[in-house]
Structure 1
Amino acid sequence: MYRKNALAAGVAAALALGSVTLVTTQSTAVPQSAAAAGASAAQPGAGFRAMTADTRSEAIRTAGRNAAATARELGLGPDERLVAKDVLIDADGSRHVRYDRTYDGLAVIGGDLVVHLTGDGRITGSDLAHQGAIRVTRTTPKLTAADASAKAVKHAKHVKKAKAGSKDSTLVVYAAGKIPVLAYRSTVTGAGETGPASREAVIVDADSGALLDQYELHQSVTGTGNGVTVGQVSIETTQTGSGYTLTDAAHGGTIVYDSYNSPQSNPRQNARAFTKTSNSWGNGTASSRESAAVDASYGLAKTWDYYKSSFNRSGIRNDGRGAPAYVHVDTNLVNAFYDDNCFCMYFGDGSSQNGNTPVTAVDVAGHEMSHGVTAATANLTYSGESGGLNEATSDIFGTMVEFYADNTADPGDYYIGEKLNMSSGYLRRMDNPSADGKSLSCWNSGAGSADVHYSSGIANHFFYLASEGTGAKTIGGRSHNGTTCNNDTFAGIGKDKAAAVWYRALSAYMTSSTNYAGARTATLQAAADLYGTNSQERYLVSKAWAAVSVGTALPDPGNGTPTPGPTDPTDPPGGNALTNGSFEQGTSGWTQSDNIITNSSLQPARDGSWYAWMMGYGADAVESVSQSNIAVPATGAPKLTFSLKVSTQESGYVAYDTLKVKINGTTLATYSNANASSGYVQKTVDLSAYKGQAVKLEFAGTEDTYLPTVFLVDQIAIG
């Protein structure tokens, strides 16, 4: 239930080191570094301090000691516990503490959150994947684990001939939807994109077995590779007695193993470390098994160095520990993937399609290692729009690693997998994602239903435009063309600044359920932190999002002061037409008290896939969604129309739970549990009293202590 409990300002908890004191209720923090709205001094990198492994561990332990007090201040329930996952510290001492949640000892999917604090421990805000406390009626399931596994096998869509046993299903609380439910998370194995032992997560309701979510567990680049791409390079090795191993002590002890074609179900089955008496590795062709290992070692080291030099991040989990890598996995495997369960990366040898050359290019290594960084930070769920953002994050940083490596054999560009010998010449293009015939260049209401490798195109396109702006360019010897979805033209802020904005948004503001609208909010906050609220960088970030159909551009700040944009001659005098009345542009144009506007499949939309879901908690609650400065027509008989569906567990005709329609704070219509309907019903409200005025429209919901009522609103129009 996306209910945000109000935080009581001024409440302090006297705790040692990192005391928690609440000072604001905003959902996205404004750290001290951005306190001056017009600040122009850029923060280094993504604004985070470098920390030793010991310093970070102590910060996490402190966050753990403060977890109970933090949960109370955030209004979480008595059965909930916070588990500290990571801590980032800004240059000014502000902190961002990332927590996972449990409920009655069960893991909560979609329960993660980030708490933002000043240097002296005062809470300035929080970003929660699921707002407010979590409540489920009980934690005893009707289905057994074996039942859940059987249901999961039937629901699986990413693998064929799916299999799962009772040990493959774990009881959890699923809070990624609006109402938390008891669920099973099952791991299903079968033939899929990553081979005959591909794995898929399937989440089913623990009582009914209904499908709640499903996604691939191998987060991968799929395609053919041409193997050795980096040419002659220096790599870090370790001397052991009279020989050497491909152990990179300079990068957390990263070891590259030869999998010896072990199956994907157990890539370590036959694995052994590369060893030899001389310190010269490979011959530059696939005829030597060492050549693929050189590529992998080089790519992973460059990825580590990029994160360290750019963001003060020490390895995937920021703990100084290197992840093992396995080359020559399986046979005919045209793939590479990261697996967070084993904290390791696997690289296949390709197939006859490309002469059996390994999939070990620099941007592939950067892509896979960045999946680990995402898992350690926002942990974006690998389905829906968050899955597209997950894939795009790996494309973004894989590309940045390629630029950072500055390797003449593989110069930096915004093509993904251009060294993998694809028939099209690349896997994906960031400047023009839809050029492959599958990827999305512009956001639309169906983006959440697209394969995550294709919906990633929206964020890839955003990143290219934010970095390079519009127009034709040659980059890394390849043609790029920054076209937009709205025919806008503008300059970019540069790839390093754009990457800093994305990294800060990922690590400090995004959560597992972040969608494209949320990513826009997170990156605008990150740009404000780094370059100032009224900075040209923040403005151009908003322009880049608008250019891929996510939200609208902010006013041009000019010389540091926001100025209104040119008047649209089609705008009615005294206000604007109501925008996004069917919510198909997500939250664009609307202000909401909680995560009300949604495309959740748990309830139906009247049209499209987005709608406003209000109330339904079965507990005291208030919610609102509103839009301001709407021009009511000055002629005729203006009216407000909208579609409303009411479902309730209340009985009788007493109005226990209500939805009020307000104009400028005045209630014009009230609907309640007594208006329950089997489907959507069109409602009409007379606006004659507001002819020619610019008004604020608000839908305000109130629910009492007992029995839930759900109000669904869609297709809103004023005319």
Structure 2
Amino acid sequence: MSPHIANRRALTATVTAIAAAALIGGGLASGASAQPAAEETPTAAPAKLSASQRAELLRDADAAKAQQAKELGLSAAEKLVVRDVVKDRDGSTHTRYERTYDGLPVLGGDLVVHETKSRETEGVTKARAGALKVDTTRAKSAPKGSRAVVWAASGTPRLAYEKVVKGTKKDGTPSKLHIVTDAATGKKIFQWDTIHTGAGHTQYSGDVELGTKQESSGFSLTDTGRGDHKTYDLKHGQSGQGTLVAGPDDEWGDGTAANNETAAADAHYGAGMTWDYYKTVHGREGIKGDGVGAYSRVHYGNSYVNAFWDDSCFCMTYGDGQGNAKPLTSLDVAAHEMTHGVTSNTAGLIYSGESGGLNEATSDIFGSTTEFYAKNTKDVGDYFIGEKIDINGDGTPLRYMDKPSKDGKSKDDWYAGIGSIDVHYSSGVANHFFYLLSEGSGKKEINGVQYDSPTADGQAVSGIGRDKAEKIWFKALTTYMTSNTDYAKARTATLDAAKDLYGDGSAEQKAVDAAWAGVNVKAAKKKH
């Protein structure tokens, strides 16, 4: 736990149920870990920036954006908008920009400029290559409730209209569906939902520490050591922020769902562990990297069997499960959902098609690694997702990273057309890749859990360890992936990340290549 938490206390909770995997994290309770000893952090890894240091970098980038656009050869109609910046330990910077054209947002126009310590440009990663030339005369004719945009994420760049349709799905999950139509023909080009959902429920065992704040009349679930992250009680409502969870003492919950504070305690713990993971392992303080906490909402709706991240409120929301008896507030669920926020504020992977599968996989990957990081000995870390929630009713995990198809729907390997299936199942390809990169193929036991990972081509793959694999994926996400990255581009992004971190032609870079081949994502054949 972070050493600068204000009021932290041991929570006496046998916590009801589940997902403690998350809650638990990489415990070493039983079985030998396949992980090698941690090595010195590469100089190309992200540096730990304070909120003020990051803000200064953003100000510098904003001041130089016009010159940067000129150096990139953008037309007079194109402007850059600074979105994020990553600084490596060696002083290199990677500045992420959105783009506008004739004042209109360019969807799929994002790019990342890579500069050396001496501020010399050494490369640019673009969601779309080539110049933009779009007729925007229809921009002012956007239908009511829509906005004019330039669509450049796929096909020929063109003027389009984007409309956000808000609603509620059958299970009670809110929906914010973005629908993009061609301005000239009125035909739908693309759609995606910005509400990202997952599942899990809490039955944690053991005592955990929470970051809290002493108030005039007691305490509240306000984590002063982690950006003032707060946890609110919706009291079974489905709108608004809810009521800040507070009490006369610094004890929260009793480990049962019957106690209203238990779900809040579990959600608060999950948020704290996710914050610590990103800050300690990746040098990112908070979801946006700005040192500001998000907030959590518990007790959403009635018998709502889900949890979701909403970037518009910058918050996590948890239902109480079937019969309001099993709150979905496990650590792996919390880390999974909040990682959607990290992805939204970095690569911005569109939540549809292959980029949507990569978005989901990123949340699974860092949900799992956060679980390992937590080292709660009551429930060791593993490469399963939602293994404690029992949504299937037979004790099996929601998803498997070593062999995703074991859930009956996810895919082990890439194939043409995989982008047309549900993103929760196309994510299996990247989940499988990450497992192979971390642990390798074949049978093995890790922390007392049995795995048996196959490969698409039948060739054995040797893992490089989770410590290196998670750093490669994070660097690829924050430095080289863009909004429309597909599996082929993800392969290139991770190869570039491995090169930066461990060297061109290094064993780690070769392992990345082999792991992608293991899930049928290979280099494109050169045309002669």
TM-score, scaled to structure 2? 0.89
The structure carrying a bigger helix percent of its residues is 2
Gaps of 5+ in 2: 1-38
For 2:342, the equivalent position in structure 1 comes to 373
**Matched residue SS, 2:251:** coil
Q: Is it true that 1:301 corresponds to 2:272 in the alignment? A: yes
1:702 corresponding residue in structure 2: none
Q: Deviation of residue 421 (structure 1)? A: 1.5
TM-fit CA distance, 1:170: 1.9
In the alignment, is the contact (CA less than 8 A) between 1:230 and 1:361 conserved in 2? no
Equivalences for residues 400-415 of structure 1 within 5 A: 400-415=369-384
Counterpart amino acid of 2:462? A
TM-score, with structure 1 as normaliser: 0.66
1:267 is displaced (CA, Å) by 4.3
Aligned to 2:414: 443
Task: Name the structure 2 match of 1:249.
Answer: 224
Does the alignment pair 1:170 with 2:147? Answer: yes
Distance 2:163 2:307 in 1: 23
Deviation at 1:308, TM superposition (A): 0.8
Q: Aligned pair in 2 of structure 1 residues 173, 312: CA closer, same or farther (>3 Å)?
A: same
Could you tell me how far apart the structure 1 residues matched to 2:356 and 2:445 are?
A: 30
Displacement of 1:143:
5.4
Which whole-Å CA distance do the structure 2 matches of 1:385 and 1:94 have between them? 30
- Is 1:189 the counterpart of 2:149 in the alignment? no
Q: How does 1:360-399 map to 2 (within 5 A)?
A: 360-399=329-368
2:490 counterpart SS class: helix
Deviations 1:252-277 (A, max 9, x none): 100000011112xx242xx1001111
Q: Say whether 1:327 aligns with 2:298.
A: yes
Instruction: State, as a whole percentage, how many aligned pairs show the same letter.
Output: 48
1:65 aligns with 2:63: yes
The separation in 2 between residues aligned to 1:178 and 1:457, in whole angstroms, is: 26
Task: Map 1:474-553; keep pairs closer than 5 Å.
Answer: 474-551=445-522
Is 1:51 aligned to 2:70, yes or no? no
Higher relative contact order (CA 8 A, sep 6+): 2
Partners of 2:433 and 2:518 within 8 A in 1: yes
User: What per-residue deviation string (whole Å, max 9, x for no partner) do you get for residues 79-126 of structure 1?
Assistant: 111011111111221111111111122111111100011111111110
Verify the 8 A CA contact 1:261 1:267 in the aligned structure 2.
Answer: no
Shift of 1:369: 1.0
Residues 119-198 of structure 1 aligned to structure 2 (within 5 Å): 119-141=117-139, 144-146=142-144, 166=145, 169-192=146-169, 195=172, 197-198=174-175
Alpha-carbon displacement from aligned partner over 1:206-257 (angstroms, at most 9, x marks no partner): 2322111111221111x4x442325321111100013000000111100000
CA distance in 1, matches of 2:466, 2:503: 18
After TM superposition, list the pairs within 5 Å mapping 1:295-694 onto structure 2. Answer: 295-352=266-323, 356-423=325-392, 424=394, 425-551=396-522, 588-590=524-526, 627=527
Whole-angstrom CA distance in 2 between matches of 1:191 and 1:65:
42
Q: Give the Å deviation of 1:132.
A: 3.1
1:62 Cα deviation from its structure 2 partner = 0.7
**1:84 partner amino acid:** V
Tell me how far 1:495 sits from its aligned partner. 0.6
Tell me, yes or no, if the aligned pair for 1:267 and 1:330 is still in contact at 8 Å.
no
Tell me the distance in 2 between the aligned counterparts of 1:325 and 1:532: 40
Q: How far did residue 185 of structure 1 move?
A: 1.4
Greater shift, 126-135 or 367-376, is seen at 126-135
The CA distance in 1 between the partners of 2:319 and 2:489, in whole Å, is 35
Q: What SS class does the counterpart of residue 333 from structure 1 fall into?
A: coil
For residues 318 and 418 of structure 1, what CA distance do their matches in structure 2 show? 30
Secondary structure (helix, strand or coil) at the match of 1:125 reads strand
Q: Whole-Å Cα distance in 1 between the matches of residues 511 and 205 of structure 2?
A: 35
Aligned to 2:204: 229
Residue 513 of structure 1: how far off its partner (Å): 0.8
* CA-CA distance at 1:313 after TM superposition: 0.7
**Higher Cα Rg, which structure:** 1
The alignment covers a number of residue pairs equal to: 488
184, 193, 196: which one aligns with 1:207: 184
**Structure 1: distance between partners of 2:139 and 2:88:** 44
Q: Does 1:275 align with 2:211?
A: no
1:588-629 Cα shifts (integer Å, max 9, x gaps): 113xxxxxxxxxxxxxxxxxxxxxxxxxxxxxxxxxxxx3xx
Contact 1:316 / 1:372 at 8 angstroms: preserved in 2? yes
Task: Name the SS of the counterpart of 1:250 in structure 2.
Answer: coil
The answer on whether the counterparts of 1:328 and 1:347 sit within 8 Å (CA) in structure 2 is yes
Distance 1:46 1:194 in 2: 44
Tell me the amino acid that sits aligned with residue 335 of structure 1.
N
Residue 490 to residue 405, structure 1, CA distance change in 2 (3 Å): same
Find the aligned partners of 1:413 and 1:115 in 2 and give their Cα distance.
Answer: 36
Q: Is the 1:286–1:292 Cα contact (8 Å) retained in structure 2?
A: yes
Instruction: For 1:177, give the aligned amino acid.
Output: S
Relative to structure 1, is the Cα distance of residues 217 and 551 closer, same or farther in structure 2, using a 3 angstrom cutoff? same
Q: CA deviation at 1:196?
A: 6.0
Q: Which residue of 2 aligns with 1:619?
A: none
Question: What SS does the corresponding residue of 2:178 show, helix, strand or coil?
Answer: strand
For residues 478 and 194 of structure 1, the distance between their equivalents in structure 2, rounded to whole angstroms, comes to 33
Whole-angstrom CA distance in 2 between matches of 1:46 and 1:484: 30
The residue type equivalent to 2:84 in the other structure is D
Letter in 2 for 1:186: K
Asked whether the equivalents of residues 113 and 511 of structure 1 are also in contact (C-alpha less than 8 Å), the reply is yes
Rate the CA distance shift 1:434–1:193 in 2: closer, same or farther, 3 A: farther
Q: Which residue of 2 aligns with 1:260?
A: 235
Q: 1:193–1:203: structure 2 CA closer, same or farther, 3 Å change rule?
A: farther
Q: Distance in 2 between matches of 1:474 and 1:219?
A: 32
Offset from partner CA, 1:671-711 (integer Å, 9 cap, x none): xxxxxxxxxxxxxxxxxxxxxxxxxx2xxxxxxxxxxxxxx
SS of match in other structure, 1:256: strand
**Any idea what SS the aligned residue of 2:211 has?**
coil
> What secondary structure sits across from 1:57 in the alignment?
helix
8 Å Cα contact 2:128/2:153 also seen in 1: yes
Residue 228 of structure 1 contacts residue 292 of structure 1 at CA under 8 Å; is this kept in 2?
Answer: no
2:43–2:88 Cα contact (<8 Å) kept: no
Q: Is the 8 A contact 2:43 2:89 kept in 1?
A: no
Q: Relative to structure 2, which stretch is displaced further, 69-78 or 390-399?
A: 69-78
| Offset, 1:43 | 4.1
The alignment partner of 1:120 has SS state of: coil
- Give, in angstroms, the shift of residue 181 of structure 1: 1.3
